[in-house]
Amino acid sequence: MPGLSDVQVHPGRDVVRKLATYIVEERDAPLPTEVNAVARKCIVDALIAASVGVNSSGPTAIRKTAASLYPGKSPIWFTDQASSFIGAAWANSAAIAALDLDDGEAYARGHPGAAVISTAFAVGTDVGASYEDIIRAIVIGYQVGVIVGAARKTYGNTGTWSPYAVVATAGALRKSSREHLEHAMAIAGESAPNQSFMSLRGKSPVPEGSDVKEGIPWSVRTGLDALITAENGHTGPRNILDCFAHYAFPEGFRVDSEYRILKTYFKPYACCRHIHAAIAGMRDVIVAHGIEVSSITAVEVETNYWAASLPNKTQPENLSDIQYSIPYCLALVAIVGNEAFVPLTKEALGLKEAEAFAESVKVIQAGDIPIECASMETPARVTVVCSEGSMTSQLKAPEWGAADQPSFENLIEKFNTASRFMVRPHRQAVEHALHALWKGDMHEAMKGLETNIISFI
């Protein structure tokens, strides 16, 4: 293991300077129509996730804490509560990320939207930004966060790199100087949630499922605190991203070589993206061959290293455990159907039939599926063994990936399914907000975002 003297570090501050320069130059630049449309889909999708996640235990605890620690007037979505822009962004990011129904990016291997969109709306409201300003800041946040996340030499959950995205998003809206942005990113990067336990693969012991998950809400606080303290004169190690031991940026890379938000994937199911292809394969085999669940004796899932390394608990103790378990998710698909994931509720826990089915599911790393397979994200092949024989699916990619992103109408269908337990007036208020955001009417959207639905879910 090399000592500190062996770690190669660039003498300059090239990467952080490039990122800060990009933020300053792009925050007032017009966006291509396609990029604007994808950003609006990301906004709509985040609000869908937040509306069904807001009543979960993690967001509830953070919401109470934020209102106490950070008094203010920024709305905490779908409640009658408010906080400072830091507290609102913190609470709203928790609601978006709670049920694992939020968007993601395959190359960064994480979820930029929960951190970026919550930040953009909270800071944008605080500074009186236009909706177009907020959209531009979101595009910038995705760009910076994904670039940093994809450059990591070792895997880190979203919270390890999303503070960079938060600084970029908030800094674009606050018109922060390049120097302040440089120091803020350095402070945020060095102070980010380390996720040292949750980010490990092949963990022993397997982490207990909890509301901490990928550390996204904490990363929002970290990023915003970093920006404010940098604006007040605090400094950070601005050559942090030039450290060869931790990051691998291509020589002479350009921050603006492509719009990273265009590579966003969306989730039809409330579970880890590594599980989605297996769900699709399982569903295809059962439907194509008319298999009765009672006749299934075993299931084998061939996938890549990342999916095979999930905790994959067969007797989940909480919703987080379900979100990271291929065996139990496939059991829910077989026994309950896809609707079990939209939304995922506590009723999915403790199902003895599902636990027994999960015990029959074997997850293996397939030799013909590379560890890194970002072009297909996490593919899977599913074999179902039953009384009639053995049936195998094709190698499946997850649905709603970068190449086949859902339409706005698809997202509204997702909301209609996910919100089916809401009382009708509140469901209508949220849907009104989604349509308003798609059309660009921020004033109308805020009416829905400020509707208190937490007592009626």
* DSSP code per residue over 184-237: HHHHHHHHS---TTTT-SS-SSPPPP-S-TT-HHHHHHHHHHHHHHHHTT----
The answer on pLDDT for 411 being more than 90 is: yes
DSSP 325-363: -HHHHHHHHHHT-GGGGTT--GGGTT-HHHHHHHHTEEE
pLDDT of amino acid 202:
65
pLDDT of amino acid 338:
87
CA atoms within 13 A on the CB side of 427: 14
The answer on pLDDT for 254 being more than 50 is: yes
**φ and ψ of 448, to 5 deg:** -75, -40
pLDDT of amino acid 372:
64
Q: Which of 383, 206, 199, 215 is nearest to 312 (CA)?
A: 206
| pLDDT, averaged across the chain | 92
What is 273-392's CATH number, 1.20.1300.10, 2.60.120.380, 3.30.1330.120, 1.10.530.10? 3.30.1330.120
State the fold for domain 9-265. Answer: 2-methylcitrate dehydratase PrpD (1.10.4100)
**Alpha carbon distance 419, 49 (integer Å):** 10
Band the pLDDT of 53: cuts 50, 70, 90: very high
pLDDT of amino acid 403:
81
Band the pLDDT of 198: cuts 50, 70, 90: confident
Give me the torsion for CA of 436, 438, 443, 448, rounded to 10°: 50
pLDDT of amino acid 44:
98
The answer on pLDDT for 4 being more than 50 is: no
Of 12-16, 101-105, 442-446, the least confident:
12-16
The answer on pLDDT for 374 being more than 70 is: no
The answer on pLDDT for 103 being more than 70 is: yes
The answer on pLDDT for 455 being more than 70 is: no
Boundaries of every domain in the chain: 9-265, 273-392
